[in-house]
Amino acid sequence: MNPAQVTALAQDAIVLTLLLSAPLLIVGMIVGIIIALFQATTQIQEMTLTFVPKIFAVMLTLLFSASWMMIKLVDYTTNLFNSLPGLIR
């Protein structure tokens, strides 16, 4: 296994990680901004007001995107296992 193959494997893993985490992070960020705007306009400074809606929104996003995430992970793992004989040489 040469350095180019190791770099390609690491790059693929990082890209997959970013691709799978992006929907959850984006939804959490959008909900956080909306809640921050709501808190700024109403001057309500309740700590639980920030966490509960974010957790709920991220869980809903995870519920709806879990099958897509699993398909991506299975495809990546299958490709990795299929390429192992070529990488060992």
Confidence of residue 16 (pLDDT cuts 50, 70, 90): very high
Quote the pLDDT of residue 34. Answer: 95
Strand boundaries in the chain, DSSP class E: none
Kindly tell me if the per-residue pLDDT of 5 is higher than 90: no
**Domain definitions of the chain by residue range:** 3-84
pLDDT tens for residues 28-53? 999 999 999 998 899 888 878 888 99
User: Nearest Cα to 40, choosing from 51, 50, 54?
Assistant: 50
Output the pTM of the full model. 0.82
Kindly tell me if the per-residue pLDDT of 89 is higher than 80: no
pLDDT tens for residues 47-82? 788 889 999 999 999 999 999 999 999 999 999 999
Quote the pLDDT of residue 2. Answer: 85
Please check whether residue 5 is in contact with residue 87, taking contact to mean a CB–CB distance below 8 angstroms: yes
